[in-house]
Amino acid sequence: MSLFINTLRGKASNETPVWLMRQAGRYLPEYRKLREKSSMLEMVQTPEMAAEVTLQPLRRFPLDAAIIFADILTPLIGMGIDLEFKKGEGPVIDNPVRTASDVRALAVPAPEENVGYTLDAIKLVVKELNGKTPLIGFSGAPFTLSSYLIEGHSPGDLLHTKGMMVGDPPLWHELQEKLVTLCVEYLVAQVEAGCESLQIFDSWLGYVGPREYDKFVAPYLMKLITQVKARVDVPVVFFATGVSALFPRLGKLPADAFGVDWRISLPEAHAAIGRSVPLQGNLDPQILAAPWEYIEGAARAVLDEGREIPAHVFNLGHGVLQHTPVDNVQRLIELVKGYRR
């Protein structure tokens, strides 16, 4: 069993495994080169290209895990929405889901017909990695996927989303049920294709207060993770940002580990979660674009805090930013690989 999987299983050793969210992407010149000729969607939807992009950071750095190159939004295309990644704007959905008939029209296709390209990319990557490095599969969480579906773009505010949530609970329920099914099947299919770990991204959960979390979000997260864990035996990591105050509630989810952003220290997050669980995180990605002298101290502080919790996977508190110097990423990973708990 690899260092990464063992650590997520709570079996910490004196080494801290490391991977970075968005470790593949625009900060890498070799990614930008491919991206000159193809759109983000073409790259995800062509298995050979998606596999190549997944492997790019592993050729440069001694990472302990790979993450399949896809997006949390690509599985929504098969539901019947028009998704585009627009330059400078990010994801745009031209036909947002606002009414009962919009929700009812959403299909829940099987992963093989919906995202066969990602499953094929996983098989190519697993073959290439040849048992040396585990591959992470992932999905968005129902709340965050809803926020894109309903707002139609990266949610600056969540007025339409919360409007449906609290204004029409039966319709919200219907949408959440469809998304839970889509996500469970997608996550299970990724494991069947060869992924050894799963991560669930709930990037916008930090905008939800405890009352609405309990009523409109928690039941579906509980169902999603419970169903996945009943079907596949791989560690499931739950990641959200801005949720320091929700950790006591999130701790009740049956996730095997939690991703932590930079707004809280690892020991404080662990105490708030309230049970013995491995944590992943949490260097501020904006700090990783700062002078190395500062980064080094900040990264060592994260590693030292990681010794105060039962098991620690080093990561950033969110994805690598586009303007991060590659050299900073290189030095960071070497620092983590040289560290002993």
Q: Are 164 and 175 in contact (CB under 8 A)?
A: yes
Closest to 125 measured CA to CA, from 114, 113, 134: 134
Task: Select the residue interacting with ligand CP3 from 55, 72, 228, 236 (CB under 6 A).
Answer: 72
Question: Least distance in Å: CB of 315 to ligand CP3?
Answer: 10
Does 69 participate in binding ligand CP3 (rule CB under 6 A)? yes
For residue 205, how many other CB atoms are within 10 A of its CB? 22
Cα–Cα distance, 300 to 240 (Å, whole number): 23
Is 59 noted as a catalytic residue in this protein? Answer: no
Q: Which residue is nearest to ligand CP3 (CB)?
A: 203
Contact 43, 25 (CB under 8 A): no
Q: Measured from the CB of residue 269, what is the shortest distance to ligand CP3 in angstroms?
A: 17
For the residues of 76-102, what is the DSSP string, one character each? HHTTT--EEEETTTEEEESS---SHHH
Which is nearer to ligand CP3, 73 or 232 (by Cβ)?
A: 73
Out of 9, 26, 98, 331, the active site residue is 26
Binding mask 25-64 for ligand CP3 (x = CB under 6 A): xx--------x----x------------------------
- Rounded CA-CA distance 200/198 in Å is 7
Which part of the chain contacts ligand CP3 (CB under 6 A), choosing from 5-13, 71-79, 171-179, 329-337? 71-79
Tell me, yes or no, if 9 is annotated catalytic: no
Active-site hit among 35, 60, 263, 331: 35
85 part of the interface to ligand CP3, by CB under 6 A = yes
Size of site (CB under 6 A) for ligand CP3 = 21
Given the residues 27, 64, 102, 148, select the one marked as catalytic: 148
Q: Are 69 and 50 in contact (CB under 8 A)?
A: yes
User: For helices 266-273 and 292-306, what crossing angle results, to 10°?
Assistant: 30
Residue with tokens 């050894």: 196
Q: Which amino acid is at 287?
A: I
Question: In the set 206, 219, 251, 319, which binds ligand CP3 (CB under 6 A)?
Answer: 319
* Residues within the interface to ligand CP3 (CB under 6 A): 21-26, 35, 40, 67, 69, 71-73, 85, 90-91, 138, 154, 201, 203, 319
Catalogue the active-site residues: 22, 26, 35, 71, 148
